Structure 1
Amino acid sequence: MLALRGGRVLTADGWSCDDLLIDGGTVVAPGRGEADHVLDVTGAVVAPGMVDLHVHAAGGHSAQGPRSDLDGMARCLAAAGTTSFLATASAAPLEELRDLLGGGRPSAGARCVGVHLEGPWLSPDAAGAQPPGALRSPSVDEALSLLSAGDDLRCVTLAPELPGALDVVSALVARGVRVSLGHSTTSYEDAVAALAAGARGVTHCFNAMSQLSGRDPGLVGAALSWPDLVVEVIADGVHVHPAAVLALHAARGPEGVALVSDCVDGCAPADALVRDGDVLRLPDGRLAGSALALVDAVRNVVSWGVPLADALAMSSTTPAAALGLDV
């Protein structure tokens, strides 16, 4: 038995100053007890490991393409405090996505709990940095083909306004796949129809989607108002203004917001993306993703006014619950 002693321990009931007891790699409970080893963590915060629902790469290692290296990616994520992640793929030919879904998982480092397909059923009018030639119309047959490639498909981002999208939502949800809405010019009404069909997420809220206005709430309006939803946000201070992150937190609470990195650092040759701090851009200046570590997203939102306990939940227990995981 190992005891972490002296730290501030975040529990489901709030902060505790008790020991955190760990037996065989499993957290037993906060409290005092007999321990074979005691680790002094005085002054530290002890919190669940972080869970990234949306990460394409880390430390120059990618989930997809010529730099594909899930083992390297898992090691780099673990070194920065992310203990579980969805290996995220951009839109690509169907066979490439099938190969990724059947490609196995890393043996060490952060736990890869499955694959998040960000495409190919996205709107060409909200493609962002997605390859336009790889975008496709939603198809139940294609969805079933991807599911048959292996057991790794855990999440799919799609645009709900595309013809056939609701049928794909229903097919995926019926088979236990989480559906998230994004890269979309959808009306509020079409977004709500997809949520009513079982979609339970919004991908990188505020980015590459229909915005909120008084008469047309769009996908952002659905993200702010629909119950039982976990909404991603990239908290680097560039993709989304800090005030918008605070508004999202105020509307949904920590149980409804998941901090994500959307890290693409390693997805493309060095001359294909331009690094600008924690942001990566296409040569024309458009945002392509981040070079953010999830722990830095936590630091950012705390500096903007989100309580530390909420920020830690938004990077750990909330995304874990969205996938049905324990942390």
Structure 2
Amino acid sequence: MSVNQQLLGKILTPEGWVKGEIQFSEKIESIEASDFSAEPEYFILPGFVDLHVHGAGGKDTMEAGDAVQVIARQHAKHGTTSLLATTMTAPMADIEAALRAIQPVIEQRPAGAARVLGVHLEGPYINPGKLGAQPDFADIGSLAQVKHLDAIAPIKLITVAPEMEGHLQLVSELCAMGMQVQIGHTLGTYEDGVAALQNGAKGFTHLYNAMSRLDHRAPGMVGAALAHAEFSEIIPDLLHVHPGAIKAAMRAIPHLFCVTDSTAASGMPDGQYMLGRQVVHKCLGGVRLEDGTLAGSTLTMDQALRNLVSIGLDLEDASKRVSTYAADYLGLSERGRLKTGAFADLVVLDRQLNLIAVYVEGEKIDLANA
């Protein structure tokens, strides 16, 4: 149980900036304006919410064991206060083993770690012709199989290629269960994307990457997203997507939110790491397969925030895209915002947007060795 604490600074609330004091224990107790003789030294923002996390600190979610604890602690040091542990396309036995290791971390948040909200099942229900960096274990999904996996660990988000046989019905069935379904790793047409959205899908997995491209005569899955989506992931490491394409998506998709798609190489030196069953190589800030295919990222959410500001977003807009919109997407009204009664998930940044402090549900995170 966290004790009562307080911080002074320029606080971002749902109503806008407040120069004042925030008091909190596990949850936020009050936010009060104060008189400052000068501009506050620190910005206080909602903790970051990352819905697509494969790894960090040399560990991958598919390793099972203590991997997710290590991953959640590493990301907390970079301001992520809640996340979804994300699996890879793999044989079903591997996925089940990963979920069994994730479940206890969901039930009990380890000290010093981000809150693991549940699982993002990225595959195996994807198109084998658009694997990206996913191993070649794509499969046709069934409601019974997803229910079986969900009974091992709660699946909050699931990526599906809707053009595969039976998957349009599966999208509808999963949405009826209360899962958030998004479209990804797909060769589907614009029409396939529209049909999936009409059947309840709400978002897109790492927009632009691993999906059929936009052409003015064949809009593809990117076209469906830009024309119709309210929500979508995007990876703002400035390697996966050009800044101009990020800005185009922001104009088209009201609640475009950022994910890291981070791998075991995040927070680690250049070298060789695992992404599920794939060997990946970290070099020059990127992570790639042997053939040069981008394979996730080394991005952290504090750097994502700085990248958004560097391409022209104001801090309030950038903050929503690394916190609030992802929480809204999962229906989490007590996360991703600083208001009375919300969880005390917050980050403190200096004027250069360097991370000074992180609190997860009121617990101050040790940022050493971040």
Residue 262 of structure 2 is aligned to residue 260 of structure 1 = no
- 1:306-317 maps to which residues of 2 (within 5 A)? 306-317=313-324
Quote the offset at 1:248 in angstroms: 0.9
Residue 299 of structure 1 is matched in structure 2 by 306
Conservation of the 8 A alpha-carbon contact between 1:143 and 1:168: no
Aligned partner of 2:260: which letter? S
Conservation of the 8 A alpha-carbon contact between 1:224 and 1:252: yes
Conservation of the 8 A alpha-carbon contact between 1:77 and 1:110: yes
**Percent of aligned pairs with the same residue?**
39
CA distance in 1, matches of 2:303, 2:124: 29
Conservation of the 8 A alpha-carbon contact between 1:102 and 1:149: yes
Residue 243 of structure 2 is aligned to residue 242 of structure 1 = yes
Deviations 1:40-95 (A, max 9, x none): x9411100000000010012122112675111111111111000000000111122
Residue 135 of structure 2 is aligned to residue 136 of structure 1 = no
Partner SS state of residue 298, structure 1: helix
- 1:20-31 maps to which residues of 2 (within 5 A)? 20-22=22-24, 24-31=25-32
Conservation of the 8 A alpha-carbon contact between 1:114 and 1:154: yes
Work out the number of aligned pairs and report it: 313
Conservation of the 8 A alpha-carbon contact between 2:18 and 2:33: no
CA distance in 2, matches of 1:112, 1:146: 17
Residue 352 of structure 2 is matched in structure 1 by none
Which 10-residue stretch deviates more, 7-16 or 114-123? Answer: 7-16
Residue 176 of structure 1 is matched in structure 2 by 178
Conservation of the 8 A alpha-carbon contact between 2:19 and 2:33: no
CA distance in 2, matches of 1:139, 1:66: 24
Partner SS state of residue 315, structure 1: helix
Quote the offset at 1:185 in angstroms: 0.8
Aligned partner of 2:226: which letter? L
Which 10-residue stretch deviates more, 190-199 or 102-111? Answer: 102-111
CA distance in 1, matches of 2:258, 2:33: 32
CA distance in 1, matches of 2:95, 2:217: 38
Q: In the alignment, which of 54, 57, 60 is matched to residue 59 of structure 1?
A: 57
Residue 98 of structure 2 is matched in structure 1 by 100
Quote the offset at 1:252 in angstroms: 2.0
- 1:1-327 maps to which residues of 2 (within 5 A)? 1-5=4-8, 7-22=9-24, 24-32=25-33, 42-65=40-63, 69-103=67-101, 104-105=104-105, 106-108=109-111, 109-132=113-136, 134-150=137-153, 152-227=154-229, 229-253=230-254, 256-266=255-265, 268=274, 272-325=279-332, 326-327=334-335
Conservation of the 8 A alpha-carbon contact between 1:117 and 1:156: yes
CA distance in 2, matches of 1:213, 1:32: 50
Quote the offset at 1:242 in angstroms: 0.7
Partner SS state of residue 316, structure 1: helix
TM-score with structure 2 length normalisation? 0.80
CA distance in 1, matches of 2:279, 2:172: 37
Residue 268 of structure 2 is matched in structure 1 by none
CA distance in 1, matches of 2:12, 2:225: 27
CA distance in 1, matches of 2:66, 2:190: 37
Conservation of the 8 A alpha-carbon contact between 2:193 and 2:225: no
Aligned partner of 1:302: which letter? V
User: What is the root-mean-square deviation in Å for CA atoms of aligned residues?
Assistant: 2.0
CA distance in 1, matches of 2:141, 2:5: 50
TM-score with structure 1 length normalisation? 0.90
Conservation of the 8 A alpha-carbon contact between 1:85 and 1:110: yes
Aligned partner of 2:44: which letter? V
When residues 2 and 147 of structure 1 are mapped into structure 2, their CA distance, relative to the original with a 3 A threshold, is: closer
When residues 32 and 305 of structure 1 are mapped into structure 2, their CA distance, relative to the original with a 3 A threshold, is: closer
Q: Which runs of 5+ in 1 are unaligned?
A: 34-40
Conservation of the 8 A alpha-carbon contact between 2:19 and 2:40: no
Question: 4+ residue stretches of structure 1 with deviation over 4 A?
Answer: none
CA distance in 2, matches of 1:29, 1:75: 27
CA distance in 1, matches of 2:186, 2:117: 26
Conservation of the 8 A alpha-carbon contact between 2:64 and 2:97: no
